[in-house]
Chains A and B, each alone.
Chain A
Amino acid sequence: MERISVHQFITLGAAVLMGTTFLPVASIVTGVGGRDGWMSVLPGFALGIPYSLMILSLLEQYPSNNLLQISETLFGKLIGKLIGSFYILVAGYLGGLLLGQVGDIYQASIMPLTPLGVFYLGGIILVLLLIQSGIEVFARFSEVIFPLIVIALFLNIVLSIPRIEQGELLPILSEGFKPILVGAFKVMPFPLTYIIFLAGVIAFLPTGEKELKQLKSGVWRVVFMVGILDMLIVIIQILVFGPTETVRLVYGLLVLGKMVEISRTIAGVESVFLGVWFGAAVLKIGSLFFATNWGLEYVFGLKGIKWRLSLCVVFLGIAFRYVRGPSLILEIGLVDEYLIMPFVAIWIPALWGVAHWKKGVGIGRKETRSGGKG
């Protein structure tokens, strides 16, 4: 059984949680909260903490099981399988949509004449390579790529400082707290997509007492790291573009990258930045691919390269269905908000609640022991 270390859990979690959120987040929160939109990023991401902690406590009870297996033991076969199917559906669909986004971004921003299929194919090949190499290599990939993403984002933020317009963040809180809360609600789907991946990856986490403690503090670190980074990104965009433009720009951070000038040597770094973004997208799509794959494996027992290849085809199919950029972005928003959010929001607490209740009754103890051996 492959295992990933605590540090890998943190970078992997951060990379998946961050995923590709740094592109749309500014537009989303500013659309609701205006100049104060940046304040809703952290509260929105913080929602990920209780959910992650619930999952980790389930891990403590049922080591080396993923949430699908735990669902089956707790809710019975039928409901477990139902949940599993829904899980597969949601994860796979979102994965395919994000694959579509790779094409959309590249075509819209730097390579207008290249066919979309090439981007999809490039993305899915890398994802398949990662999947075939296993979760350990995936975790290591995140260890290498996530620092790159962070560095690229920081560079983008720092290099944009000369373009800051005077006083765009002011006035603070002129509309009160309500828009911030609504904004936070809009951000919530981001951490919940991460939960989808976490539900599967917990089977590979270390289960020692010391490690569990580290994992729990790791969750906090992940959420705050990503939350603060995303917040900085929103702030710099509001500072440079002003709220109206931030909302209007589809991929604001890219436009920011276009405006970077390092004296007269470099003019615009968006194509380099997009290279890093591509890595982030591969990680995110890979995580959803993994989730779908686990789902197929544990719910229906479909293992092996055959099913992975057919999953690739499904992903490509979903991507090709949305060749129209605006409808793709809309669809991603809809899936986030109306599929993933309610599903995860109900599933995890219910699972946790039942597990705790059973533990209290005393049935849980037996389960723990059998789980520990498996």
Chain B
Amino acid sequence: MNTKLKRSYKIAPVLLCISLLFISGCWGKREVENLAPLIGIGFDLGEKPGTYLVTQQYARPKKGGSSGAEILQRTLGAEASSVREAFETVSKGAYRTPFMGSLKVIVIGEDFAKAGGFNDVLDFAQRFAEFRRSMYLVLARGRAEDILNLKLRSEHLSAIYINYIIEGGNELSTFPTVRLGHYLTVLGRQSTAPILPVVKSIKPGEGINYKAEKSGEAEELQIQGAGVLRGDRLVDFLNDDETKGYMWLENEVFNRFINTVDLEETTVKFSGQVLKSKTKYKLHTNNESKELYYQIKTSIAIDEIIGLNKQLSGTEWVKLAKEAEESFAKVIEKECEGAIKKQRELGQDFLGIGRHIEQRDPQYWKTIKDQWEEEIANFPVSLDVKVTVHHTGMSSSSATNSGGEGQD
């Protein structure tokens, strides 16, 4: 009797489970085909003060022929004073539910960035559970709306295209990769100024030549340079070289192409590929003052030599490789100095020098922390670049003519 009773009590929860099934089951249930995956989102200043234009780029998957899905784009904008409101406005005209989990890129328009206040905008992205902190942040030259509405010749959605460029960025290491999580962490450091990569549309001839389908319109994208923020306001843009300098100093160079064409003091120019790079930081003490010392160690493989017009012997070749190392080091130094110069001009510590000091000498940092903004301009920094040329490719000396015209 007792065991029987016990058994029936064991069954009771199971019955409860079963009865649970018959309660209407549509809590938060969304069929995947009814979702509109949000890929990119752009922010610009709105017409009315206090509002902004939120451009949302959705992917619209369509049954493709043989290769699965074909992705069509659907980019909509709405002016609102909160992001949720903008989504509401857009949703009124769209039959699918916006799905934020697939958001790849947040594009911040130039004007909007300069006006400031996008931490408020980002709050939605970091609070709402569907978003991930691994999405990318980029600044747009011009309006974010234009970037997202760009009809690319490759027929990609521009947000996906930006995502691809950033994810391939390690091979170039010419612009910083900033995820939302990284941005928020940098904000948490207080002393460091956040930096965002800059995306811009390119018309034919603006750096890249191509044949546009509609003349006069931009149909390609490029990420180059970066923007420095103070708080959540864009202060200034870094040019390409300064951004590269930032990448060296921040130890973010993985692989890179590098050339010495702009060096005036050498006749033989080299191009190569950075195989790996490591930046170390040390805090030197000279008498009273401290100095941050960067030590950059880089391995480079030479891919191209220009201006070499005689055949070299083995020892000469070794000498040339040494020369190449010096040339490369000079280029790197130049880039880094550009970044440091910019940092001093702006008075913004986007290089994170303050953090480096804090990590190495927290006591000293406490004494200068409060007037760090003034200190940045003249805090001494020194640089040591060591380049090792691993190899010079598949050949030694370049092909030369037999002393004809034009040969020295």
Q: What is the interface of chain A, defined by CB distance below 8 A to chain B?
A: 108-115, 118, 121-122, 125, 128-129, 132-133, 163, 165-168, 170-171, 174, 240-245, 248, 255, 258-259, 261, 267-268, 305
Of the candidates B6, B17, B133, B189, the one having the most CB atoms from chain A within 10 angstroms of its own CB is B133
User: How far, in Å, is A186 (CB) from chain B's closest CB?
Assistant: 21
The answer on a CB contact under 8 Å between A113 and B9 is no
Task: Write out the residue numbers on chain A whose beta carbons fall within 8 Å of the beta carbon of B362.
Answer: 171, 174
Asked whether A115 and B27 contact (CB < 8 A) given A174-B362, A261-B134, the answer is yes
B181 at the interface (CB under 8 A from A): yes
The answer on a CB contact under 8 Å between B185 and A245 is yes
User: How far, in Å, is A126 (CB) from chain B's closest CB?
Assistant: 8
Q: Roughly how many angstroms separate A111 CA and B187 CA in the complex, as a whole number?
A: 29
Task: Write out the residue numbers on chain A whose beta carbons fall within 8 Å of the beta carbon of B101.
Answer: 268
B320 at the interface (CB under 8 A from A): no
Chain B interface: which size bin?
Answer: 20 to 34
Task: Write out the residue numbers on chain A whose beta carbons fall within 8 Å of the beta carbon of B363.
Answer: 174
The answer on a CB contact under 8 Å between A268 and B132 is yes
Q: Roughly how many angstroms separate A27 CA and B9 CA in the complex, as a whole number?
A: 41
Which of B250, B251, B358 touches A171 (beta carbons < 8 Å)?
A: B358
User: How far, in Å, is B143 (CB) from chain A's closest CB?
Assistant: 29
Asked whether A245 and B27 contact (CB < 8 A) given A167-B355, A171-B362, A174-B362, the answer is no
The answer on a CB contact under 8 Å between A242 and B189 is yes
Which of A118, A166, A243, A248 touches B27 (beta carbons < 8 Å)?
A: A118
The answer on a CB contact under 8 Å between A245 and B20 is no
Q: Roughly how many angstroms separate A244 CA and B189 CA in the complex, as a whole number?
A: 7
Residue in chain B with minimal CB distance to A241: B185
Residue in chain B with minimal CB distance to A171: B362
Task: Write out the residue numbers on chain A whose beta carbons fall within 8 Å of the beta carbon of B250.
Answer: 166
The answer on a CB contact under 8 Å between A171 and B360 is yes
Q: List 20 A-B contacts (CB under 8 A).
A: A109-B129, A118-B27, A121-B16, A125-B13, A129-B10, A170-B359, A170-B360, A171-B358, A171-B359, A174-B358, A174-B362, A241-B181, A241-B188, A244-B188, A245-B181, A248-B188, A255-B133, A258-B134, A259-B132, A268-B101
The answer on a CB contact under 8 Å between A168 and B360 is no
B184 at the interface (CB under 8 A from A): yes
Q: Roughly how many angstroms separate A258 CA and B180 CA in the complex, as a whole number?
A: 12
Residue in chain A with minimal CB distance to B23: A118
B28 at the interface (CB under 8 A from A): yes
The answer on a CB contact under 8 Å between A114 and B27 is yes
Task: Write out the residue numbers on chain A whose beta carbons fall within 8 Å of the beta carbon of B190.
Answer: 244
B330 at the interface (CB under 8 A from A): no
Task: Write out the residue numbers on chain B whose beta carbons fall within 8 Å of the beta carbon of A108.
Answer: 129
Having A113-B28, A167-B359, one finds 19 other A-B pairs with CB under 8 Å, namely A113-B27, A114-B28, A122-B20, A125-B17, A129-B13, A132-B6, A132-B9, A166-B250, A171-B361, A174-B358, A240-B185, A243-B188, A244-B185, A244-B187, A245-B181, A258-B132, A259-B132, A259-B134, A305-B9
What sequence of 0s and 1s flags, for each residue 169-194 of chain B, a beta carbon within 8 Å of any chain A beta carbon?
Answer: 00000000000011011011110000
Task: Write out the residue numbers on chain A whose beta carbons fall within 8 Å of the beta carbon of B133.
Answer: 255, 258-259
Residue in chain B with minimal CB distance to A308: B9
Q: Which 9 A-B pairs have the closest CB atoms?
A: A244-B188, A113-B28, A174-B362, A114-B27, A170-B359, A242-B185, A171-B362, A242-B188, A259-B134
Q: What is the interface of chain B, defined by CB distance below 8 A to chain A?
A: 6, 9-10, 13, 16-17, 20, 27-28, 101, 129, 132-134, 181-182, 184-185, 187-190, 250-251, 355, 358-363
Task: Write out the residue numbers on chain A whose beta carbons fall within 8 Å of the beta carbon of B132.
Answer: 258-259, 267-268
Asked whether A165 and B185 contact (CB < 8 A) given A171-B359, A267-B132, the answer is yes
Which of A168, A243, A245, A267 touches B184 (beta carbons < 8 Å)?
A: A245
Main secondary structure of the interface of A (DSSP, over half): helix
Asked whether A111 and B188 contact (CB < 8 A) given A132-B13, A268-B132, the answer is no
Task: Write out the residue numbers on chain B whose beta carbons fall within 8 Å of the beta carbon of A132.
Answer: 6, 9-10, 13
Q: Roughly how many angstroms separate A257 CA and B28 CA in the complex, as a whole number?
A: 21
Of the candidates B13, B17, B361, the one having the most CB atoms from chain A within 10 angstroms of its own CB is B13
Q: Roughly how many angstroms separate A111 CA and B10 CA in the complex, as a whole number?
A: 29
The answer on a CB contact under 8 Å between A110 and B181 is no
Task: Write out the residue numbers on chain B whose beta carbons fall within 8 Å of the beta carbon of A241.
Answer: 181, 184-185, 188
User: How far, in Å, is A253 (CB) from chain B's closest CB?
Assistant: 13
Task: Write out the residue numbers on chain A whose beta carbons fall within 8 Å of the beta carbon of B181.
Answer: 163, 240-241, 245, 259
The answer on a CB contact under 8 Å between A245 and B28 is no
The answer on a CB contact under 8 Å between A168 and B27 is no
Residue in chain B with minimal CB distance to A118: B27
Task: Write out the residue numbers on chain B whose beta carbons fall within 8 Å of the beta carbon of A245.
Answer: 181, 184-185, 188
Asked whether A111 and B20 contact (CB < 8 A) given A245-B185, A267-B132, the answer is no
Task: Write out the residue numbers on chain A whose beta carbons fall within 8 Å of the beta carbon of B6.
Answer: 132
Which of A110, A125, A248 touches B16 (beta carbons < 8 Å)?
A: A125
User: How far, in Å, is B91 (CB) from chain A's closest CB?
Assistant: 15
Task: Write out the residue numbers on chain A whose beta carbons fall within 8 Å of the beta carbon of B361.
Answer: 171
User: How far, in Å, is A48 (CB) from chain B's closest CB?
Assistant: 32
Task: Write out the residue numbers on chain B whose beta carbons fall within 8 Å of the beta carbon of A111.
Answer: 27-28
User: How far, in Å, is B254 (CB) from chain A's closest CB?
Assistant: 13
Q: Roughly how many angstroms separate A267 CA and B10 CA in the complex, as a whole number?
A: 39
